Structure 1
Amino acid sequence: MKYYNKIFIWITFFILVILFSSVFFFFKQTREARLETLGDHIISNFRAGLAYEMTDLLSLSLALAEDAAIKNALLNDNESQGYEILRNITRRFKKYTHLQSLRIQLLTPDFYIFARSWNEGFEGMPIWWFRDDLQELKHNKQPKVGMEIGRLLTFKATIPVRSGKKLIGYLEAIKLIDEFSVKLRRKGIELFALMDERFLEQAALMRNFPVIHNHILANQNYHQQAKEKLQTIDWNKLEKKTYMLHEGTYYLLEPMHNGKGDKIGVYVLALSQKALKDYENENQGFSFFTQFSDEDMQNVVASWAHPFGSFRNGYDKELIELLPRLKKEDKQEFESEAKSILGEYSKEELIDIILSNKHNEKKTGVIK
């Protein structure tokens, strides 16, 4: 009898061990799945937030590229005037808007510095030799925006400046990623923008920046303790899984690409337990970073990918939209140029433009 009791006890013990192991495995798998799902939502919102930052900068640059005073400075080869104009513009933006790190520079058609908003004395200096992203502008001369490597890793929007059809230079608006990291920090998220170490030869001003796992930390408003903690994680594990929980902090890794689509580094997002819990309780239909709906963010991304709608470039769009606002005596010259431009469009492109304009017309009246 005692023998059977022992067998029963051992069988019961093994069943309990298997049961507890199964429960532990189930909860572990559920927790992993939950973390992965949350990570997907956060990264999706992060991408939309990045797209919004770039759209914002691109829109600003497109408007400034049409500024008459800037065009006159380029046409008259007046570098001092260009510097004063740019300096005053950035001062106003820093005073009245959120763009506190905004810098603007004018380039010649051959990519030599014409004027900068933040200093004088660099006029005539070539920048094409350390700015690989400018090469594509030689061929397509189209507006572009992206996270680009220059002397620093920054958001850069580069827009052709034209007088009529003639290219007279480029306007470039520059913004540090630090401003974006501040927005994330308000949500309990620390952002680390990490540039691949191999680009240090180009990014000469970043040579004394902190190094984390063979990457250069681009944003300088980082939290010191968070940086030190990031240096202790298993980097290979994070690269492989793209997410991990380490000592109470949830890390997410997202590739960093330039405007051309080449990988130049990574973004690491570090979320505290509180931020993770807050996000889990958020309505998943809203962006954690911007509080815009997912539909709004998709529209932002679409406008970034096709900023000129059915038009081929920004100049064509601005010219056609300007015509209805001009006085009759001013229209003749611009109408002639508009006809010449639209004459190069295909039938399908013209139909798209007409339909787009009809869709955007304001309708008034009474519904009967």
Structure 2
Amino acid sequence: MALPTRTLGPLKVSAIGLGCMNLSQAYPPIPSDEDGGRLLNHALDAGVTFLDTAALYGDGHNERLLGSAVMHRRGEFTLASKCVLDVVDGKRTLDGRPERIKATCEAALTRLRTDVIDLYYMHRLDRNVPIEESMGAMADLVAEGKIRAIGLSEMSATTIERAHAVHTVSAVQSEYSLVVRNPEVAVLETCRRLGIGFVPFSPVARGLLSEGVTHDRYEQGDIRAAMPRFVGEKLAENLDRIAAFNRLAREADRTPAQLAIGWLLAQGDDIVPIPGTRSIAHLDEDIAATTIAFDSSVIAAAGALFPPNALTGARYAAPMQAQIDTELLAHEELA
């Protein structure tokens, strides 16, 4: 099955990718490797040609899973992974030093069972290392043939400009959805001016826009339990706001997840969302959004439901927010 395609710098990918983190961490229950491999291969069979992983996910487990499950189909997809955030000696680290970036890449290549990563992101900004130094290491990896293109994740317009001056940046990845509009402050405009593709993660807002969150009784280890907008009275207020969105989707004879992804796709041909899921049924639901022709009035109505800062509560708890370089919205709540 062939899906519509879009470009991220030199890379041609399906209009929707697959964020693979859910198969290794963050949203329990974590599937078995057999079930995770089945979902990955189903994604490829369904026409997804863009798989996104990271060294951090499951302390390397996610990269190992891709290495064992789909590398026999390496020519069928664009592979993205990430460095700077990593787990070293059992401890989560944020380290943008050139030597650490290169070491993380070497380990990733081994875990992934491949010779080259198509798109390699700096997962977060290490404020202790000038971005120019980190980008120098990334440029070296391109010159050595170990990566094909460079990406940045959750970085500001100013940082993107500085990085791009060292070496071409092909893609920027940040959280972006109907309810998280931070990239609209400055990042999207900067990416378009510089010819950089944009990859939204959490396009259905960690389940808020797919009817996947109805209460805050999460399983142990679920990252949403530590996110202010996903717990207590703040969550209750947010679910009340999202009820109107769910009604709008039903009136359009689509699922909320499809409308959320459709809205993102309608924001520009340079946008490639990467929803994540543990469910093949949900994966098929997400993929279908690439071929749905939404009426422009429905897309506009969805956007109007959620002006910037529509949700109550901070996006991240303070320690996680400290690692985010992307611009804040006016009057944005912080933990």
Structure whose residues are more often strand by fraction: 1
The structure having more radius of gyration, on CA atoms, is 1
Could you state the TM-score of these two structures normalised by the residue count of structure 2? Answer: 0.30
Could you state the TM-score of these two structures normalised by the residue count of structure 1? Answer: 0.28
